[in-house]
Each structure stands twice: as structure tokens, then as C-alpha cells.
Amino acid sequence: MKYKLLQLIFLVLIYSACNEPANPPIHPDEWNISGTENSHPEKIAESGIVVCKDCHGGSEKNDYFGGTSGVSCYDCHAGGPSGHPGIYAWISPDSAEYHGRIFWENGWDFSNCQQCHGLDLAGGVVESSCNTCHTSGIGSCTTCHGDQDTNLAYPPKDIHNNTDSTLVSIGAHRSHMETEIATVRCEECHLVPGDYLDEGHLGADNIAEITFGTVASDSGAISPTWDRSDASCNTVYCHGSFSFAKSESSASWAYLYDFITGIDTLVTWTGTAELNCSSCHQLPPQGHIGENTQTQCSSCHGSMIDENGNIIDKTKHINGQIDLN
């Protein structure tokens, strides 16, 4: 009976330590005073959280629900020892406390996470890696947008887990990247970082800025524009804003005028209208000899298009140059 009474007193003292300024004898002074040398966050950062598991861990010493001490870290920390909210709220995209949402709202500041999980978020003092769930790696493009299952980094899933193509963050990503008439790279519209922490990649506004590449700007010959207010692209090589000079061509005989030009088409990124060949250039393009139809293009461009007007080599279409047989 005496032993049980002493044990009860000890547990009460430990419980009180989490709810009162006092500390249990096993802990040093200032254990509950944040910022001091002996505060438990400082000691955990110094020695790791393994020692906490010895007394506060569960059957597998990893849940911090009380263990042999009978004192749960959750008594003081509503989110548990990690400071996270409940596990389902933390990992559920629909929750206001979803960890992705926390990053969206704090400007992608990982410093709090790095204190426990390490600079690379691969374990740190808590020996718990973010890569346990993010199997493609925390720095993978598909961790925040795209599809981890297919390893495709472009939406229809944006960083907010949206898939509605009427949103500017989704728009025509899929129809561009999966088109059968051209090869489109992310670099044609965005600066693609080498590392997710590269300057300019993560921003507090959560907007993926548009920076047109060499093909979209026809190697600098034109200046494409993007208007986010109405989600429109204009003066873009890919959509007909091209001009091939007769003076620079090896096939000057194909020219009626000094230039062969396309149709400068304004396109809406979130629109639903389907484009075809004549949306971006006449058949044949303005300034080109003849009155050819799409099925006759193969006479000179047979390596790119067949006699039925089907693109057979999309690397040779909308690529910034004229490919002849």
C-alpha cells in the first residue's frame, strides 16, 4: 500500500509539472521555461527526443501518450509533442490545419519543421523523416503539385489540391503537356528550379510566375505577353505569332512575299474553345505559295505531317524552325 501511495504521489507530481510552473524532480530547473538553457525544447534539440520516449512513450515508445510515467505530452501540448494538430487534421487536404495549407499561409517557411526534422527534413532530432509519406522526396516537384503516382509534375492538381480547369492554377496545363501536335516543356512558361528551395521558386503569393522560354518567344524575336487578370496569352509564337523571313530561308522559292506569317491569336488559358491548325495560321500560312490544304503539307513537310494531315513527329512542329523533307 505504501509503495502504491508513493507511486501515486510521484505521478501527481509529474502531472502537475505539465500543468503548473513546477517541474518533476527528474527534470532540471527551468524545464518549462522556453528559451532557457535547461528548457525541454533546448534539451530535445541537443540530445534528441529518444530519452523522452523512455518515460513518455507507449508500447512502442513512439506515441508519447504516457508510457511508464503515465504523463502524456498531450497534457501540455494540444498537438502532441510535435506541436502538430491532430494527425488526421494535419494530413487531410480538406482540413484548415492541413500541413500543406500551413505552408501556403506562412510563405513556405520550413524553419519550424527543420528544428525537429533536420535541415533536409529527413529525420533530425526526432528521427522522423518527412519522406516517410512523401516517398518521391520532399524536394520532388510532385510533392506539391501534379501527381506522385504518375510522377507528372504539372496540374491538374495544383498546390492547393484543386483540379478545376477553370482556375488559373490549373487551366490548360494538361492539354499543353499532353498534346500530340508538339512537344511542350515546363521551361516554355516557367523558370524551372534545380532545387525546390532555389530563390524565386517558393513565394508568399503562391503564384507560379510566367517567364516565357526560347520557343514561346521565337528565340527572342517576339515578346509574348501574359495577362493573369483574364488568363490570356498574346503574341506567343506557339499560337501563331511567327514570322519567317525569306532572306533567311533556304527555300526562298516557297515565298510569295518577304515573310511567311501566322495569325497572332489571343488565347485564354482557362477557356474551353478548341483550337485547330487554322486557329494559328492559314492553310497555307500567309505569304506561302500555293493554295494547299492540310493534306498537301506533306509534300514538303512529310517528316512532320502525313498525307492525311496528321502530325507524325511532334518534335518538328511548333519548334521554332522550318523542317523540310
Tell me the three state secondary structure of residue 305: strand
At 216, which helix (H) or strand (E)? none
Q: End-to-end CA distance of the chain: give it in Å, rounded.
A: 98
pLDDT in tens, the chain (325 residues): 444 444 444 444 444 444 444 456 678 888 877 678 888 877 776 766 667 777 877 656 556 777 888 877 777 765 666 667 777 788 888 888 888 888 888 888 888 788 778 888 888 877 788 888 888 888 899 989 998 888 899 999 999 889 999 999 999 999 999 999 999 999 999 999 999 889 889 888 899 999 999 999 986 678 999 999 999 999 999 999 999 999 999 999 999 999 999 998 899 999 988 888 999 999 999 999 988 778 889 989 999 999 999 999 999 999 988 888 8
C-alpha cell at 257: 512575299
How many Å apart are CA 54 and CA 3, to the nearest integer?
22
Give the count of alpha carbons within 13 A of 124, CB side only: 19
Torsions phi, psi of 317, nearest 5? -120, 135
Give this prediction's pTM: 0.73
Tell me which amino acid residue 90 is.
W
Tell me which amino acid residue 28 is.
P
Kindly list the domain boundaries of the chain, sorted by start residue.
2-75, 87-133, 214-325
The number of beta carbons lying within 10 Å of the beta carbon of residue 235 is 19
pLDDT of residue 177: 95
Beta bridge mates, 260: 244
85 Cβ contact partners less than 8 Å away, ≥ 6 residues apart: 78, 79, 95, 97
Ramachandran region, residue 206 (left: φ > 0; alpha: ψ -120 to 50; beta: rest): left
pLDDT of residue 14: 45
How many Å apart are CA 325 and CA 313, to the nearest integer?
12
pLDDT of residue 20: 46
